[in-house]
Chain A
Amino acid sequence: MRAFTRLTAVAAALPEADIDTDRIIPARFVDRRPQDGLADCLFHDERFDGAGQERADFALNRPAWRDAGILVAGANFGCGSSREHAIFALLDYGIRAVLSPGASEIFANNAFENGLLMVTLPPDTVARLLTLLQARPGHRLTVDLERQVVADSDGTEAPFAIDPRRRRCLLEGLDTLSLTLRMTDRIAAFEARHPG
């Protein structure tokens, strides 16, 4: 897994709540192999019109947000399908962190497993950030996982909580499976006493 320590990047605003994974990557692109690239599929049907032309009004098509590395989003981000391609599309586009009042659980797990940092912030903090980013498109934020803060260039800092194990794995780029494979004996002992 790719390590995550600290990121300073342009943050784009997607204020809507309930942005589902069908919107993040439409189902018809899920048969593509991630190694072939999924950046062009990200938010495909909102970024492009039926003729394949960019829609000027979509957030990531705004010149100031084209190179965003951080998304600040509404509540329940990534709800719906469990498709991990949604994470691959975000990462392939260049997004390394999503800040929101809360993400769907399967989506958050998928993100964690692939080194995309999901930061949960209080709704009023997210609202403040959204207002700021919309007023100053192209504004950069810093997400510091070591210190567990989202920092703004004006000195404002918003602390966030994260599961200690997730934090450690992300900082060190450790994947969960490697850790669990060391526990094979305990799993075997459990299986010996567990009914079918």
Chain B
Amino acid sequence: MALTLFEKIWQAHLVAEEDGLGLLYIDRHFLQDGPRRKFEVLEEQGVGVRRPDRTFATVDHYPPTDGSPVEAMTHADRRRAIEDIGRDAARHGIPLYGLGDPRQGIVHVIGPEQGISLPGTTIVCNDSHTSTHGGVGAFAFGIGSTECGHVLATQTLWMRKPGTMRVTIEGTAADGIGADGIGAKDMALAVIARLGTAGAAGMVIEYAGSAVRALSVEGRLTLCNMSIEAGARSGMVAPDEATFAYLAGRAHAPTGAAWDAAVARWRTLASDDGAVFDREVRLDARSIEPVVTWGISPDQSLPIGGRVPDPATAPDAGRQAAWQRALDYMGLVPGTPLTGIAIDRVFIGSCTNGRIEDLRSAARIVAGRTIAVPGWVVPGSAQVKAQAEAEGLDAVFRQSGFDWRAPGCSMCVAQNGDVVPPGERCASTTNRNFIGRQGPGSRTHLMSPAMAAAAALTGRLTDVRTLAVGA
């Protein structure tokens, strides 16, 4: 029988089936600095961690981005969150990439970077953007902290089998995007705009088509990252030669004969010809342009050439109210050209766009120029930071006026104290433009790193294609 990539992974991880639910074996479990609930569940049951060797911990939500050590943290609750995961990891023999470790970083950046996230594996984490790891061909999804306790204790999780959706993006992306990985964010926003925020509810999305194949692995991680914003459980891209080349030699990737065997196994993972998906969606890459959000939900987006929409033209009463609420919160007037919207600051980073290729694409735009508004660049991991510095990207950002920061989630979720001040408008490479997401009263416009860089140069939302790229 012809099977999809997801179905192959599901079948290979099924420990038991009961009441229409599967008991799924979990290959990799990532832990972050966050609520201790996952360990309290163990303590309540009086059990330990079943497979500390399949568990990996890091700190990303709370680290200060000024590079100061945990000892210097004055906010008691944030400091406790970082110290708690250190203590719990040590107690249970779980490897920890803590503050100051050269492998520390945002969990969804370091998983693929360290070769922990591999094709065909099941991966969970107490974070909705775990879907990111699907970019290497894994089934990866976010869970709650009580469910994390279940995984720690049993290395399994009960789950109703999700439906399958294939999003096929064919063709070569329009001029100015796609050539160097800039296009993945635009593709992600275009897919969400097409599906709506709950359009893929209960589904696993497999991204396919020539435009997806043409993406680098880092671009695929960006695309899968935002699947959750369309309500999907997970996103995935079948592993191919690009995936194998990306993973080869990474710290946790297999080596020698084990590598050859793994690659042979990974080659069998792609969806079979004739595999049937519950839903098929097709997009033409040539129709995808640089996209920005104007509202308070990731599906409230338009190509940069568009205008702020008029709620009176909304397709139904529900959306009319939602658009009006978005305009009120964002302080926007219908009919305003998007390129006429002035911004107050720029944030480049996050699990969506904090990887080395993202920083390269932004640096390429700002090289030799001066930014017009305050801007931060927060590398997704210590390794990304080191790589960027080896390439001289930090100097490019600094010379253009950007703050070059230490790695973490930072202003994407604003849990570590890095916030966009109330009322300020931020051009942001993050994944959520929710009300108050970057701090109370903050206004977020989502876009690609290149578009954020362009906005930084002009102080307003800008079509990056109108800026001649420097050397």
| A-side contacts of B214, CB under 8 Å | none
Q: Are B25 and A31 in contact (CB under 8 A)?
A: no
Tell me which of A16, A75, A82, A190 contacts B127 (CB under 8 A): A82
Task: Tell me if B422 is interfacial: C-beta within 8 Å of chain A.
Answer: yes
Q: Are B198 and A106 in contact (CB under 8 A)?
A: no
Q: Are A50 and B127 in contact (CB under 8 A)?
A: no
| B-side contacts of A106, CB under 8 Å | 128, 142-144
Q: A84-B35, A84-B146 are in contact. Are A184 and B154 (CB under 8 A)?
A: yes
In the assembled complex, the Cα of A30 lies from the Cα of B416 at a distance in Å of 11
Closest to A87 in B: B144
Closest to B258 in A: A196
Interface pick from A4-12, A21-29, A62-70, A139-147: A21-29
| B-side contacts of A113, CB under 8 Å | 144, 146-147
Task: Tell me if A135 is interfacial: C-beta within 8 Å of chain B.
Answer: no
A31-B77, A105-B201, A177-B45 are known contacts; what are 19 more A-B pairs with Cβ within 8 Å?
Answer: A16-B321, A17-B198, A18-B197, A31-B78, A34-B35, A34-B37, A45-B435, A50-B440, A76-B231, A79-B197, A81-B128, A82-B128, A84-B35, A110-B146, A165-B21, A177-B41, A178-B45, A180-B158, A196-B27
Q: A84-B146, A165-B21, A178-B45 are in contact. Are A32 and B77 (CB under 8 A)?
A: yes
Closest to B13 in A: A194
| B-side contacts of A186, CB under 8 Å | 15-16, 23
Q: Are A187 and B154 in contact (CB under 8 A)?
A: yes
| A-side contacts of B415, CB under 8 Å | 27-28, 30-31
Contact with A along B197-209 (1 / 0, CB 8 A): 1100110000000
| B-side contacts of A16, CB under 8 Å | 321-322, 325
| A-side contacts of B265, CB under 8 Å | 195
Q: Interface size (B, Cβ < 8 Å)?
A: 64
Q: Are A177 and B77 in contact (CB under 8 A)?
A: no
Q: Are A84 and B145 in contact (CB under 8 A)?
A: yes
A-B CB pair tally, cutoff 8 Å: 157
Closest to A17 in B: B318
Closest to B79 in A: A31
In the assembled complex, the Cα of A20 lies from the Cα of B296 at a distance in Å of 10
Q: Are A109 and B436 in contact (CB under 8 A)?
A: no
In the assembled complex, the Cα of A80 lies from the Cα of B197 at a distance in Å of 9
In the assembled complex, the Cα of A26 lies from the Cα of B158 at a distance in Å of 29
In the assembled complex, the Cα of A61 lies from the Cα of B19 at a distance in Å of 41
In the assembled complex, the Cα of A82 lies from the Cα of B147 at a distance in Å of 11
In the assembled complex, the Cα of A181 lies from the Cα of B413 at a distance in Å of 35
Closest to B198 in A: A76
In the assembled complex, the Cα of A85 lies from the Cα of B413 at a distance in Å of 15
In the assembled complex, the Cα of A110 lies from the Cα of B38 at a distance in Å of 12
